[in-house]
Amino acid sequence: MSRRISPVIPGFGLTLGYTLVYLSLLVLIPLGAMFVHAAQLSWGEFWAIISAPRVLAALKLSFATAFAAAVINGIIGTLLAWALVRYTFPGRKVIDAMIDLPFALPTAVAGIALTALYAPAGPVGQIATWLGFKIAYTPLGITLALTFVTLPFVVRTLQPVLADIPREVEEAAACLGAKPFQVFRHILVPALLPAWLTGFALAFARGVGEYGSVIFIAGNMPMKTEILPLLIMVKLDQYDYTGATAIGVLMLVVSFILLLLINLLQRRIEKP
């Protein structure tokens, strides 16, 4: 006699209902409201706002620095994840816990700390000035802040995948005569690439919308070091809610297209 197994959580219909309500209240309705507010503009007015030179300069800076930070973390974060998973050394657990600091630390505090360190009067900033370049109040400083904030996304995405790759496979390949680069190219890269793309996409998306850690170190000079989130704040301070909404819609659409392309690439790689 078969016995009916009670589900751990409510049935599919009720669970799906909770999911849709929760998702609607937190994501769909706020984003939909932004599009509805931006719809008050005619296409000509909307285009005039998003094609203004100041907006385009901020758009280019925000996406370029977020992309650079995601690439840097894609390389350094992979090395960190590899060291934490594959090696045992004194202080490993402390370093592993420190990876999550950008998640726990208020981003404004991180911005103040980075600015104090890398400003021309700071300990590292003085050395950079002596070498002939500036870190704070330049795109380099913005990239540095975004790299700090987005590091955990890559490391935490790669760690479980690395832990699941059996060392016996690498050892078997080495026994069969494969060189270290061939093991890396034919065994590790195919297994890591989908997770790496996921971590890259998360880091990139987080970097595009970052505000707190960047606001102090950027310098906020229009056409030079002004990011898009700051430009939205400027519009809001001027009670230009429609202009701020139009820029928000622009950020949302561009980010969605880029994330969609990355996801399509990821699915294509995962296909056998």
d(CA 95, CA 259): 30
The number of C-alpha atoms within 13 Å of 88 and in the hemisphere containing its C-beta is 0
- pLDDT of res. 221: 86
217 — alpha (psi -120 to 50), left (phi > 0) or beta? Answer: alpha
Give the long-range contacts of residues 117-124, CB within 8 A, separation 24 or more.
118/144, 118/217, 119/217
d(CA 11, CA 163): 34
Burial of 194 (0-12, 13-18, 19+ CB in 10 A): middle
d(CA 107, CA 211): 8
d(CA 250, CA 38): 10
How many Cβ atoms are within 10 Å of 92's Cβ, its own excluded? 13
d(CA 85, CA 27): 35
d(CA 171, CA 163): 15
Please check whether residue 226 is in contact with residue 53, taking contact to mean a CB–CB distance below 8 angstroms: no
- pLDDT of res. 75: 93
- Where is 56: in which H helix or E strand? helix 53-86
Per-residue confidence in pLDDT tens, the chain, 272 aa: 555 666 666 677 788 888 888 888 888 888 888 888 888 888 888 899 889 999 999 999 999 999 999 999 999 999 999 999 988 889 889 998 888 888 888 888 888 889 899 988 889 989 998 998 889 899 999 999 999 999 999 999 999 988 888 878 878 887 877 787 888 888 888 888 888 988 998 899 888 888 888 888 888 888 888 888 888 888 888 888 888 899 889 888 888 888 888 888 878 776 66
Q: 3-class DSSP state for residue 230?
A: helix
